[in-house]
Amino acid sequence: MFDKSKSSPKIDHDEKCSGSARYVSDIHIDGMLFAKTVRSPIAKGIIRSIAIPPLPEGYHIVDHHDILSQNYVKMIFKDWPVFAVDEVNYVGEPIMLVVGPDKAVIETIISNIKIGYEEMTPMFELTKIAVTKGFKKGDVARAFAEAKTIIEETFETGYQEQAYIEPQGMLGYLEGDKITLIGSIQCPYYVKNAVLNCLGYPDDKVRVIQPPVGGAFGGKEEFPSTIACQIATAIAKIRQPIKLIFEREEDMVVTTKRHPSFTKMRAAIDENNRVIGITAQVGIDGGAYIGLSGVVLSRALIAVTGAYTIPALAASGNVYITNTVPTGAFRGFGAPQMIFAIEMMMNHIAKKLGLDPLEFRLNHLAKQGDLTSTSGLFRDPIIMEKMIDKAMEISNYRQKMQQYASSKYRGIGMSFFLHGCGFTGSGETTIIKANVKLRKDENDQVYVLVAAVDMGQGCRTSLHRVVVQTLEIPPEQVTFDYPNTDDVPDSGPTVASRTMMIVGGLLARAALKLKQTWKKGHSQEIIEQYVQPSYVVWDEDNLQGDAYPAYSWGVNVVEVDICPITYQVKVAGIWSVYDVGKAIDERIVIGQADGGIAQGVAYGYLEVMEVKQGKLRQKNFTDYIIPTSVDMAPTETVLYENPFAYGPYGAKGVGELTLVGGAPAIAQAIENAINKPINRIPATPELIMETLAHE
């Protein structure tokens, strides 16, 4: 049996020697039990009765009665329960855990649990508003009053599944009266703080360890906190090690997705064919609980004008609550929905005015010194014109546009976009307050202590490289292990394209201080805390000011062939140019770019996820189609240097930028191929056929 009085089991994280990584599901502890979740089969209802069969010895039920403190998952709001109490609000909502040593017996117990529901009428339409946000810039009323032309369109986007390789999973055990959790996560301190809130434990009675993580893409930002609270509650009750690993179908049915959205845009155009004002009304489907949806909405609204400068702007939006699986973080965090809308809107305006779309869009590009959408300032150089020229050169864009104009079912499209780096506004200083630590021992070995998670994006390599290069010492003299909240300070979550720019910047400054004070053969410790650039001024309530300290920029070009019989889209080529400040490790950045554009393009034409009466119709990789190597085209990526003063060696954000332009680029390519407007994604064969049928 597992001896509860002994210290924690040794978790071997050193995959360098063995050539294999130990994920959560690979870790075993003697005496470990397994857990499985009992979930609601209905979208909305009252729990009237629960009948549990006699439990064999060693098997347990864990539910809301066992919560030691707060039965909600600590995020922003308090509406998301750890376990359902007397009502359920979406298919798959957790009601209890069944815990025991044999998975087959657990399945039998679950099949014999009888829960009586009084079903209620679920809400699937976007009518119940939970969060409202908005802002204005310039004189919108005057812009529309003076407009020569007003053009209005509506755009829609669907769900998108993160489709990480490793499903959600968590393992926990006791060390005396202290709970340790090992999870497939992005944000160790999010998990720790949620568990402390749920159990009511003091800070030193919970620790979180991050092992190797098989992908996340935002899907392991907030959701692992729900599993952690459930497992921690079970461990506190049963006092044995417990593991909970989702099977793929369960993972897809109950975890957060990208928010479906609709965006209604109106544009005021003057006699010189310039857009002088835009109004945008945005709605996103938050699912059953708000979670992070309010922040996603904010970031969507901030991205409303994309890479363009529009002098007058009124943007407003709502988070709607429906009886569907909660939606949440996904790479891009609201921006992909809006970049799609504004790129297609600008393209359509030009076509309706009889203008060349490329020239029209070039005439509206943001320039250094312009006001951002939220009336902040683009302070840094913007090199988009040079990047666009390069993208057109490597893709042969102009010639192909002319060539394909007379040949139906072949098309090429180009998107312009930006992405803010780091947390919105003052979030880095008022919410995160990131710290990093460098520790040097008597043998002059340096240890990097940060909470940044490597989930496949390579931060263990790139952050390690920042420290090595700054200290000018051999790589083997710097150790960077997986985060353990007992050892590392809270350097913030691994989200928002902040890891290299914020955490890497802090490490570079800490390493420089260590280098300047280096005492050979002596222990030393350097702690560096993030300080926002003094020019960043932000009003969170009114969404006004500098939303981000810096922006990364990009251009995507996508070429397609469409089958005239099946309307199946084949991606024939992808070309991208990015300004990410400075690539610390070019191989890693290119890897991020290749993965990001694959997700972005697939979001635009391939990945279909639908909900019918509260149930997801696509719940495995047979039904939910993601791109394979066969679906992806030859890809060429060019990186332009445009260093940011506050980033390490000039680095800015990479991860999200490389996704957000993919959908509008392929949507424009499809639109040009069929000579019909695309206002909804994914642009599936069915949508293309429907669009062509309405001449």
Identify whether residues 247 and 295 lie together within a single domain.
no
**Over 50: is that where the pLDDT of 630 sits?**
yes
Q: What's 607's domain CATH number?
A: 3.30.365.10
User: What is residue 694's predicted lDDT score, i.e. its pLDDT?
Assistant: 80
**Over 90: is that where the pLDDT of 427 sits?**
no
Identify whether residues 288 and 397 lie together within a single domain.
yes
- 133: in domain: no
- 131: in domain: no
Q: What is the pLDDT of residues 641-670, one digit of tens each?
A: 999 999 999 999 999 999 999 999 999 999
User: What is residue 20's predicted lDDT score, i.e. its pLDDT?
Assistant: 80
Domain final residue pick, 200, 222, 254: 254
Q: What is the pLDDT of residues 567-609, one digit of tens each?
A: 999 999 999 999 999 999 999 999 999 999 999 999 999 999 9
Identify whether residues 358 and 433 lie together within a single domain.
no
Stretch 203-216: mean pLDDT: 97
Identify whether residues 233 and 92 lie together within a single domain.
yes
Domain final residue pick, 233, 254, 275: 254
- 1: in domain: no
What percentage of the chain has pLDDT greater than the value 90?
94
Identify whether residues 294 and 405 lie together within a single domain.
yes
**Over 70: is that where the pLDDT of 275 sits?**
yes
| Structure-model confidence comparison of residues 351 and 695, the more confident one | 351
Domain final residue pick, 503, 529, 555: 529
Helices of type H across 455-582: 459-471, 505-516
Q: Which domain holds residue 448?
A: 427-529
Identify whether residues 270 and 329 lie together within a single domain.
yes
Q: How many angstroms from the chain centroid is the CA of residue 568?
A: 28
Identify whether residues 306 and 439 lie together within a single domain.
no
Stretch 9-32: mean pLDDT: 72
**Over 50: is that where the pLDDT of 170 sits?**
yes
- 489: in domain: yes
Q: What is the pLDDT of residues 149-166, one digit of tens each?
A: 999 999 999 999 999 999
Identify whether residues 492 and 563 lie together within a single domain.
no
Identify whether residues 466 and 413 lie together within a single domain.
no
Which of 147-161, 276-290, 422-436 shows the lowest mean pLDDT across its residues? 422-436
As for how many domains the chain has, the answer is 3
Q: What is the pLDDT of residues 523-552, one digit of tens each?
A: 999 999 999 888 899 999 999 999 999 999
User: What is residue 134's predicted lDDT score, i.e. its pLDDT?
Assistant: 98
User: What is residue 200's predicted lDDT score, i.e. its pLDDT?
Assistant: 98
Query: For the chain, how are helix, strand and coil distributed in percent, rounded to 5?
Result: 30, 25, 45
Q: What's 203's domain CATH number?
A: 3.90.1170.50
Q: What is the pLDDT of residues 393-418, one digit of tens each?
A: 999 999 999 999 988 899 999 999 99
Q: What is the pLDDT of residues 46-105, one digit of tens each?
A: 999 999 999 999 999 999 999 999 999 999 999 999 999 999 999 999 999 999 999 999
Averaged pLDDT of the chain: 95
**Over 50: is that where the pLDDT of 3 sits?**
no
- 129: in domain: no
User: What is residue 19's predicted lDDT score, i.e. its pLDDT?
Assistant: 56
Identify whether residues 180 and 248 lie together within a single domain.
yes
- 534: in domain: no
Identify whether residues 580 and 612 lie together within a single domain.
yes
DSSP per-residue letters across 315-365: EEEEEEE-SSPPP---TTTTHHHHHHHHHHHHHHHHHHTT--HHHHHHTTB
Q: Give residue 493's pLDDT band: very low, low, confident or very high (50, 70, 90).
A: very high
Secondary structure of 394-460 as H, E, C letters? HHCHHHHHHHHCCCCCEEEEEEEEEEECCCCCCHHHHHHCCEEEEEECCCCCEEEECCCCCCCCCHH
- 150: in domain: no
**Over 90: is that where the pLDDT of 430 sits?**
no
User: What is residue 202's predicted lDDT score, i.e. its pLDDT?
Assistant: 98
Identify whether residues 393 and 445 lie together within a single domain.
no
